[in-house]
Structure 1
């Protein structure tokens, strides 16, 4: 009761603070010195509101107190400088070379592990150690590695490694074994520790359709082949071209190499850039699946493109020891710079100086004449843009086409023209028909070739030629094509 009354009196008098009240409550104000100190600080506000009475003595005292407290806080803040640890001394050249050899070389397939440190005088050799009756390990054949050498590296004796290699070579060529092939080995008990362990068993997958095993039977190594059934049904992949033929074919499951081969084959017959989004691609790829589950995907066998009104089918075929792509009619790849402008035509007049049959004097003949029946179709020799179309003096009905690379072609004496100046034409597109207009003695095509606006001999240009299958070869070709087209779409 006395403590409460004392606090009430103190608060009513307006003097002191909560700390003063608590001090008095616990009897701490009994000494004269403490009482005098409290009386001196009773009128001082230690927590100053810096937003009020700006510029007064109390405000400046509060600012000084805040500044001092902030400085004290920053002075006790931890440092952010990194602590630098002790750096190891650099390796000597010999140590660095040895470290690099032992760290990198063992990572390669079939690599030897390099030099080894010999034992010092501090190493005491054991008089005897027990050995396991058999040990199982794996040898890996490296690129350019020998089969016998890989076995020796794994711990097989040189004579037995060579004997095993000879046995395997009777079944297949050692060069056919792919790098990275893992060989499972079982080494038996040896008579003493001074010789290599004997080879008890060796097994590896030689091919998709063959596994080979070498076993020790009656103290002799014998080869035991294990044939594996393989399904060689090709893999057929179809789909819509969409925004990108390559991306669509890859998304459908076609290997990247097969898609690249498909595009190269198609480029021989159509402009790849002209393939539309709604066109459909058709790929048949060589594929083998073993009974044990492993698979192998080979090259592209068939390439098809459905453009709606037109379907292009290409089949890879070996002709005279060389593989090329033939369409369903047995026509192979076209090679050369330009296409013949008139089919089944013969040259009636060559390039150069000649006596003109109508004008009656000699002058330069800037092209060659192809004799052909009236109305025979005339094809554009290659892709280009028509630069002239119409009557051209002695040329009669005349068309001139500008091609990439500074090349140009001219077609004269037409009976009818089908293209106009500015038209884009493709190789093989019909641009008109054979006639006898202008200075002409009969139906023929006067064909000109220009290089940088200078006339050159058209016979110096390589015209496209395509291989053609016939007879029994064509029959076998069509039978193979029909068999492949019977393949079901995968998935």
Structure 2
């Protein structure tokens, strides 16, 4: 605190006192005309204040205007019909006898019509059903039979098959008796073509609109991380493409033990992209793996002996070797891997001797490779099961099938249909349980290299190198 001292002199010793920051202010005196009736009770001043209060109150009462009731009219009672309408407008529980939601009665504002006005045109979208033609779709959409048949004939002249599920934009015109006239029908007949049947001065005509399509291959890269399959899916690969990549890679390395987390995968697949933005992915063309420990893998899909096989593009400078690996037995994603797990029904940990593929009921199951059927029938908890021997001590097993279409002892080719996905045996839902057994011991199907080695013609080596360069842009 800052202050300046004040020195007092006198007979005694000197006294030093701090100077205050504030300045003393006199307390204001109360107004003589204002009386606080809570002080000086019954004094002359108190009685004067009380009389003054009575005088002011009496003056206010004399000067105040007279208070009269406000004018207002009483509404006329409602007729029963009007009362019913008001009750219908109210919101109240029906359990208490309310009429909430009843239809309002007609009033003088309602004008009856002898006939409803017809719409001059109707615009709608329809979806082509399975097994349904253009004519039938137009008929159920409201078109006349003659117009629907003519439109279907024009569409058929384009020579394109319209796939079920195609969305069709339809504009119908005036009523013709049995239906409406067709003004315009437009649909996509493929990624590169739009077909439009439009009415002009000459009647219905077909207009073909070509759509530019880019066929540049699609390239996907990424790190293996905690799991190769799910890393592929996270990078944008579909379940079918991811399964095809694992199948190709299994022809070159042990996927279960020779692929590290820091390895990097690379895929190239055929892709068609329209100028309007739609795209359709094609088959896998290239499967590569850059490894942190070990030689890089570069596999190119190449036709050999009338069949597509994976070619080791790294060694294409020498007489290359083609490896035709095990085919994926079903189109679907892997839902459970090889190894110990808690059984979903038995509820205790046990060895899962194969891998599970999630697929819809009735999805086709094919043989993974050429071989002979050694079992085709019921196998206890495995349900309906097929086992195929491929030679060299290798067997493949397909379980929980809904239907088997091969017999024990018969020969099968790779990719041949052997049955359909189901949920027989100890199963919680439709899926395929797939096992590979080598010399009587179950092994991880992702680690099996079933090699069918064929030498590539030396004349194709340069073509393989050129194709690889074109795909990788090197």
* TM-score w.r.t. length of structure 2: 0.47
- Give the structure with the higher percent helix: 1
Return the index of the structure with the highest Cα Rg: 1
